[in-house]
Structures are given as structure tokens and as C-alpha cells.
A and B are shown apart, each in its own frame.
Chain A
Amino acid sequence: MADEKAGRFPDPHEYQVPPELEGWEEMYPSHYLFSKERGEWEKNQFWYLDKIHAPEPMPPLDLLFQEAWQISLSQYTTRVFCIPPAQGIAQRMVGPYMYICAIAPPPDEVIGEKAQLFEKRVFYVFEHYNELWDKWLVKFKALGKEMEAVEVPKELPKFVPEDQVLPAPTGCYVSYDLIEAFGKLVNQMFKGWQYHFEMLNLTYLAYLMFGDVCRKLFPGISESAIGKMVAGAYVSMFRPEEELCQLSRLATSLSGVADILKNETTADQKIAELGKSEDGKKWLEAFDKAKDPWFYVSCGSGWFHYEGSWINNLDIPYSYIKSYVERLEKGETIERSLDKVDKEREETVAKYRELMQTDEDRESFDGAYKTVRTIYKYAEDHLFWVEHWFHTIWFSKIREFGSLLVDNGMINEVDDIYMFNRYEIPELLTEVATGWALGVDIPVRGDYYKAKVDKRRKILKAAIEWNPTPALGIPPEEVAEPFTIMLWGVTTDRVKEWLESMGEVSAEDVSELKGFASSAGVVEGPARVLKRLKEIVDLKEGEIMVCPTTNPSWAPVFTKIKAAVTDIGGLTSHAAIVCREYGVPSVTGTGVATTVIKTGDIIKVDGETGVVTIVKRA
């Protein structure tokens, strides 16, 4: 059995990347590469392409988030809460793409030890969730503020300012501050990511438990029905959108404001225009009040520097506001009714309860439901604060370093800093500090670094055109790691489908795809394939969005589209949740939709059976 399986996904040590990617290895830390020393172990694991966290080629500095979650997610499972048979998730780079692997269970005696710790530690969290969350939020906000307060030297002064020397010498100067500041940021990011998983593993575990209970009671219950019963309280993640709705409503109630917001001008022009009237100023005030923290939201997942955040690209929130104002003027409702979502959830639960055959089942169901509802809020709340708010602060701090490096001739563009990984940047900073310390007219190796940037950009660009294998190594016989099942949607069926898709069939021959039936409804329409997040602007009203995965800041898009199809993502993936809320049909976790479907193809999305059919090729 194992031998048969072994032959079906490539051996990670033999898998070849295209020649245009030559030299990719130097972009990433050495422990990210498949290596001879760990060869035996690596060969026997099952590695799959992580399209959730790395749908695009990985810029070296952005890998730091991945580094951070590999440690944090894994430690909570293996060493903190001790989910008995589960181990961590390991990462490797193949070219600029990341593969991950849920490590096989530990020996039985370790499972036994973990079970005891699990009981004691985990139940405490459930019993004290609300107070733990309150504390979490306080400490996380403090950490973000700390990061915001890190001072990145704007320039290296010709001479150290007098007040740093006399009368009380500080004793250490900008050459040190520079390196310390970067170190602080990195440490804070790692700390933030430790916090990120503080309750997430348990959230996912509880969700899986509840799903299982539901399936025992109702063998044919759909994943979307289970999702409906659990979801509904993700306030923070949808707050940015709610704020936009409120600002749009405010605009229509003030004089002249809506008209300015509807203009085809830039955000800056609008702000200038609004500043000329009393009502306009009033509105700008409201906008400023909302923007921190709520517009510290990534235009993408928060995982990549180039996605940008609303706060740094005000044209984005302003364009959403424009379309909301227009819709309000047409008499449409723009807000999601949270009360309605809540009420619907309660009704759904009550109806299923009624269908249960015994009181004993009802009681156990209530216990399971209470457990999952207690903690599920965490799944959506943490996301805003970590991936969006915190990462937004990080990116702007890193850009300060970027501009310092530009000013000192080390790189050409601010964002070139992202072409170096977190171990390399101190090297660049050290050279700058050294040059400054040595005196005037000291040359730096700018050309050397600039050449590296060019080469790396070329590799990343070439990698976009490359479709790496969905998996490497040997599929396991069982999976116990909760994230693998829930977040990546890696289940029995999915692996089987990947195996099948490895076959000889070319993309053009595929006419049907299967995934999770994430949001009910059946529609047909033209596909818009968005392989990269920035292509979102191409999306037209009434199209079916086909993408690797989606993110909360895409929310306003969901009122535009007819349906959504994703490559990766289980039933609690963002696309699934939002589609259910907007009543937009969706099929998630198809594995290959963005490869098989082309923009303009007429496709049929059946959100009830999880089938996507290509009706007519463009």
C-alpha cells in the first residue's frame, strides 16, 4: 500500500524546479530547504502546497510570518495544550512556494502523557474564555502600540545631536539604535504570533468536535449547515466594512458630502474638497475616528507586503464608500444585519434540536454546542488584530527601514527591503552603520545588494508562471492535526482528488471540479479568475470569482459577485463564511480551480453539492 502511494506524488528530494528559478535557495533560511541530513524523515512525510498562506511566490522577508506560525501553531499543539495524537506543522520551500506537512502522531506513551495535560489545561481555557479574551485583547493592543512606538532612525546625522552627548551622554548612538530597532520589530512580530495561537488550536478542535456530533445525529448534514450554527459573532473582522457603511450613511445625511465622495477623483482630492465645508470637515472627523484601528486592514490576507492596507491606500476605502453611497441613494440596504444573522443561527439550532430523537442526544448536543460557541469568537476576532492591524503596523515600520537603506545607497526602492530575509537585513543595516561610523566618503556595497534584488525579483516573477505539484511525499494514513483538517481542508477525499488530479488529464479536459459545498445555491455565469490579489479590480458585477483563497478585506466584493470558487479553504474559510452571509453560492477547496478554469469560461457553481461544472469554454 505504502509503495503504491509513494510513487504517486514526487519525492521531495528529486522534485525539480524550472531552470529560471535557479538560485532561489539563497532567499530563505537553510532550515527551510529539503536537506540530505533530514532526508529519510522528509521523504516519509506528506507535504502539500500551502495555498492559504503562500498562494504566491514568497518574498524573503515575508517568510518571517510563516516562520513565526510554524513555531507557534505547533508548540500550542505539542507542548502547551498537548492535543494528544497531534504534532506540529512543518514547512519547507520548494522554489518560492511553501509546502507544509502535518507530522505523524508521537509514540503512544507521549500521547498518554499529553492526554493528562490536555484535560487540565484545555478545560480551563473553556471555563475562562471570556476573561482570557479580554486579557488577550489588552495585551495584544499594547504590543501593537509598542511596535508603533519603535523609533526607526529617519537619517544618520552628520554629527550626533548635542543633547545626546551633553550634559548626560546616552552612551549609545544611531549605529546601535538602527540594529536594535530592527531586532525589536522582529521580536515583537514573533511575540504577536505566539499570541495569535493562544486559543486558536482549541477553537478549531471544538469546531471539529461539534461537526462530528452533528454528523452523528444527522448523517447527511451539510458542512454549511454546521457552519451556520456556529458562525455569527465575528465582529472585529467585519468591523472595517461596518465602519464604511456607517460613514456612507453619514455622508448621505450631510450636505454636499455624498456628491464629493461620488466624484471620480482620488482620495487626496476628495479630502481636500471635503475640507472646504463644515459638513465635509465633520465627515472627515468621523473618518479619522474610525481609521485607527479599523482601517488598518490589509487589502489582501495581511501576509504579503505588496498587498497594502486601507490606511496606506485611502483610494480603496474611498472607492468602497463611493459605491456604498451610490447604492444608498438607489434605496438599497448596504449593511449586513448582525441581529438577523444571530436570529437565523438560533432558529437553525432550534430546528435541528427538535429533530433529535432522544432527550439524551439533545443534552449532549447542547453541551457540544455551548463548548464550540464559547470559543468560536476567537476564530474571527484574532484575525483582525494580528494579520491586519498588527501586520499593517509592521509593514509601515519596515518601510521606514527601507527608505533609510535607499537613502544610504543600499537599495533602489523602499520595498526592495522585502527581497532580503530577516537574517540578511541586519547585515545591510550593519554595513550602513559601519559606513557612518567610519567617517565621510566611505563606499558601501550597494551594487552587490541591488544586483541581488534584481535577481530575486526575476525569480519571483518567473515563479508566478510555474504551477508546482499540489503535494510531495507519501500521503499519511491518518490525520490528527486540527488545522490541517479544518483550515486547509485536507481530508480523505481531498487527498484522493489531488492524487487523481496528478494523472494524465490536462486542465483543458477537465469539465467538473469538486470541493466543499460551502454556501448553498446554484448559479451559472462567466468566471473571473483572480490568481493574484491585485487583479481584484478586474472583477465585474455578476461574474463568478475564482481565486486561490479570499480575505476579509475583500468583503465589499461579495455584493458584486454571483458566486465564489476557491482552490483552498474549508468550511470556515473566509470565502465560505462571507458567502453564506451574503447568500452567494460557493464551492471552496477545489484544489485546482484557478488552474482549470479560465476567465470568461461559463461555469455552473452548485453550492449545495460542491460541484463546479465548466459549461462552456471561453
Chain B
Amino acid sequence: MDYILNFELLDKGSLQMVGGKNASLGEMIKAGIRVPPGFAVTTDSYLGFITGTGIKDAIFKILSNLAPDDVEDLNKTSAEIQELINNASMPVKVQKAIGEGYSLLCEKCSVENVPAAVRSSATAEDLPTASFAGQQDTYLWVKGEEKIINGVQKCWASLFTPRAIDYRNKKDFPHEKVLISVGVQKMVNSRTAGVLFTINPTDGDPSKVVIEGNWGLGETVVSGSVNPDKFVVDKVVMETSEKTISAKHIECIFDPDKGEVIDAEIETDRQKQCCLEDQEIKELVKIAKEIEKHYGRAMDIEWAIDKDFSFPESVFIVQARPETVWSQRKKESVIGKKSGYQLLMEQAMKRIKIPG
């Protein structure tokens, strides 16, 4: 049984073992996409933990008693389960495996206690049919073995946040079926980060890549706490058809004094400065196209520009999942089956309205 698995060993077939997020990172590495290095703490580790510590039965018993649509009860149930998980002690073998994985990562990055992102990766997330995204915890800028291990355990507990429980109940998704893995990934020293779509989410235009970004870590863009800069780029002719530079008032950065990431105010002149260079935009589009091609579907991708590397090594993909809104629609012909002459006749009959 593997407690941890290096991202490089994973692919989309590893979903049950490492969850959607981690499997997708492995899949991208296989496809030659630049992803920050790291490893996954497997679902087996989690299962071993809840069975070994004997808390498994208690968890599902508490859940079975949950009154539907009772918010207070939901919060209480969640708190109870999370306490159970956080208070149990992780099996030593698992702790050791995580410790080894982390020290290898430090070695690889040539940095002692390399800052890492500790992210939940559930087996029922990021499916094309349902977005479980963002329901479990992520811890950024975690440094040192002890804190990493602690972060992993907190991620396990986050499988039972009120929101996650409620969502599974509403979708009739059995709680027992969902397992959790945790990814430990080298933190990108992010100058700029954000998300991109390989389809225009506004109108479903499949020829566009839409990029949204802000200074610092991508969290401000994902959470929507700032108006990000927005770029719409054509995949074929590579023209930028829209470039909106917003006043970005905050950025998510690591505060070395506090030892954690904080939302910091952005100084005035940098607020209205474009957060991406043209070459970075072009590189992101190039990578987006590769990822879309690899998966054969429209994707929703998180990216970051690392200030410690020079372009193009600075451009990293930290996450990729299927786009859920447009890809679920039935693919219908937008023109219908028409000959060139029919189309010409339609055009000839057209009048273009000029509104007053």
C-alpha cells in the first residue's frame, strides 16, 4: 500500500487513489505541462487513518442521525466529526511517509523547509458532471514537516465541513463513497496568478481563451474578492480581443512576519497596472490549448507566474479541471445544415438594424 505517491507517478486513472485534483496534476505532468513538483497523500492513507483509529463508524453514525435541512444540526454534526478527525493521531507510518516525501521535495527544490501548498483532493470533485470544487480546505505557504502533517490532517477533516456534507446530501452522493487525498505541492512564489477558461464562459465561444489574473496568489481571483484583469485571446489567430485592466485593490501574499498568507492592499500605481506581460499571456494561451487538447474538452485552469524563474520557466499550471457549464450543454449545431447558397440567400434578405 502506498501512503504517498509522487505527482509524476499519477494520471487520470489514479483518481480513486489520489482524488481528482492530484490525478489531474499527474496527468498534466505526463502531457508535458509545467506543474510545480509535489506528492499526493493517498486515499489509502486516509482510509487507514479512519479505520486504524476506529473513528470511521463513529463518523458515519453521526452523519446518519443528521436532520435534513437543519442548519444548526448540520453545523453541530460537522464540528463533531471534524473534532474526531483532528483529535485522532495519524498512524506513524503515514507520518513517516509524508515526512520523507516532504524532505525529498525540499531536496528537489534545493530549499530547506520549502513552502508548500497543502490541498484537499477528494475522489468526487472536479468531475465533468458536478463541481465539488473548493469545498475542502487548502493551506498555503506551509513550511516544515510538522506543519505539513498537521495540514494533511486538517484537510482530511475538511471533507466534513458543513458545506461539503450538505452538498453531498443534496446531490444524494453517499458520504462513504467520497474519499480524500491531499496534495503537497511546492508553493509557487507567485507574482501574478489567476484562472483561465479554454472556452469563453460568457458566450460559449470555443475559439477563445479567457484569462483572469491578479497580483499575488490566485486566491483573490478564485474567490472573487477583486475585479481581476481580464484578457480574451483567440486561439487561432492569437489576437487579444479584450483586455480589461481593473483597479485591483488587494492581493493575496505571504506575510513572513505572521508566517501566513494575508490579503494585502495594493499600492495605488500598481492597482491599475496590467498584471501580465504580453508574452506571458501568449504562453498561457499556448499551454491552455495543449491542456484542452490533451483532455479533449473545455477546461478550467488555475495558473501562476513564479517570480523566482525567468520566462517561460516562470509560467506554472497549478490546477486543471473540466469546464462544467458549457460542456454539459448538448452540442447542437448553431447554423444548421445549410448550403452556401442558402446562407447567401439568407444574407441577401437581411437588414441590419441601427438602433436609435
Q: What is the interface of chain A, defined by CB distance below 8 A to chain B?
A: 1-2, 4-5, 83-86, 105, 111, 115, 118-119, 122-123, 126, 205-206, 208-209, 212-213, 216-222, 224-225, 228, 348, 351-352, 355-358, 360-361, 363-365, 367-372, 475-480, 485, 491-492, 495, 517, 520, 522, 608-609
Decide if B341 touches A371 in the complex (CB within 8 Å).
yes
Give chain B residues whose Cβ lies under 8 Å from the Cβ of A208. 347
B44-52, B58-66, B140-148, B348-356: which lies at the interface: B348-356
With the chains together, A348 CA to B237 CA distance in Å? 7
Are B354 and A118 neighbours in the complex by a CB distance under 8 Å?
A: no
Complex CA–CA separation, A495 to B200 (angstroms): 29
A221 pairs with B207, CB closer than 8 A = yes
Q: Are B333 and A218 in contact, CB atoms less than 8 angstroms apart? A: no
Is the Cβ of A371 less than 8 Å from the Cβ of B344?
yes
Smallest CB separation, B47 vs chain A (Å): 41
A-B contact pairs, 18 of them (CB 8 A): A119-B345, A206-B347, A208-B347, A212-B347, A220-B232, A220-B241, A225-B239, A355-B206, A358-B331, A360-B335, A368-B343, A370-B340, A371-B340, A371-B344, A475-B356, A477-B353, A479-B351, A492-B353
Contacts of A86 in B (CB 8 A): 348
A75 to B200, CA, bound (A): 43
* Interface membership of chain B positions 90-127, coded 1 if the CB is closer than 8 angstroms to chain A and 0 otherwise: 00000000000000000000000000000000000000
**Other-chain contact of B338, A205, A225, A367 (Cβ < 8 Å):** A367
Contacting pair A220 B205 (CB below 8 A): yes
Chain A binding surface SS class: helix
Interface of B is mostly: loop
Output the nearest chain B residue to A354 by Cβ-Cβ distance: B236
Q: Are A220 and B354 in contact (CB under 8 A)?
A: no
Question: B176 near A: Cβ within 8 Å?
Answer: no
Chain A residues with CB under 8 A of B232:
220
Say yes or no: A221 contacts B206, CB within 8 Å: no
The one of B208, B346, B352 that contacts A480, using a Cβ cutoff of 8 Å: B352
| Contact-size category for B | 35 or more
Beyond A115-B345, A352-B207, A520-B239, 11 additional pairs, beta carbon < 8 A: A4-B356, A85-B348, A85-B349, A118-B348, A222-B234, A355-B207, A356-B206, A363-B337, A479-B352, A608-B243, A609-B240
Within 8 A of A (CB), among B242-267: 242-243
A367 touches B237 (CB 8 A): no
A126→B341 contact, CB < 8 A: yes
Count chain B CB atoms within 10 A of each CB in A122, A219, A369, A372 and give the residue with the most.
A219
Contact B354 A367 (CB under 8 A): no
Judge whether B30 is part of the interface by a CB distance below 8 angstroms. Answer: no
Tell me the smallest distance from the CB of A313 to a CB of chain B, in Å. 38
Partner of B352, one of A5, A225, A485: A485
**Residues of B bordering A, CB below 8 Å:** 200, 203-208, 232, 234-243, 278, 331-356
The answer to whether A1 touches B241 (Cβ under 8 A) is no
**What CA separation (Å) do A617 and B179 show in the bound complex?**
64
Q: Are B236 and A355 in contact (CB under 8 A)?
A: yes
**What is the minimal beta-carbon distance from A348 to any residue of chain B, in angstroms?**
6
Given the known interface contacts A84-B348, A219-B203, the answer about A351 and B236 at a Cβ–Cβ threshold of 8 Å is yes
Q: For the complex, what is the distance from the CA of A209 to the CA of B349, rounded to whole Å? A: 11
Instruction: Please give me the residue from chain A that is nearest to B235 by CB atom.
Output: A355
Q: CB-CB < 8 A to B206: which residues of A?
A: 218, 355-357
User: In the complex, which residue of chain B has the Cβ closest to the Cβ of A220?
Assistant: B205
Select from chain A the residue with minimum beta-carbon distance to B210. A220
Cβ–Cβ < 8 Å partners of B278 in chain A: 522
Contacts of A85 in B (CB 8 A): 348-351
Known: A220-B232, A357-B331. A1 touches B203 (CB 8 A): no
Q: How far does the alpha carbon of A458 sit from the alpha carbon of B331 in the complex, in Å?
A: 66
CA distance A394 to B203 in the complex (A): 53
State whether B337 touches A352 (Cβ < 8 A).
Answer: no
Centre residue among B235, B243, B335 by max chain A CB count within 10 A: B335
Q: Which residues of A contact B234 (CB under 8 A)?
A: 220-222, 225
Q: How far is it, in angstroms, between the C-alpha of A217 and the C-alpha of B355 when the chains are bound?
A: 24
Asked if residues A218 and B207 are in contact (CB atoms below 8 Å), the reply is yes
Shortest CB-to-CB span from A66 to chain B, Å, is 25
Cβ contacts under 8 Å, A479 to chain B: 351-352, 354
**Docked pose: A491 CA to B351 CA in angstroms:** 11
The reply to whether A364 and B335 contact each other, CB–CB distance below 8 Å, is yes
Which residue of chain B lies nearest to A521 when distances are taken between CB atoms in the complex? B239
**Residues B241 and A222 in contact, CB atoms below 8 Å apart:** yes
Distance in angstroms between the alpha carbons of A5 and B242 in the assembled complex: 31
Q: A478–B239 contact, CB under 8 A?
A: no
Instruction: Check A371 against B343 for contact (C-beta < 8 Å).
Output: yes
CB-contact partner of B345 in A118, A221, A492, under 8 A = A118
Residue of B with least CB distance to A1: B356
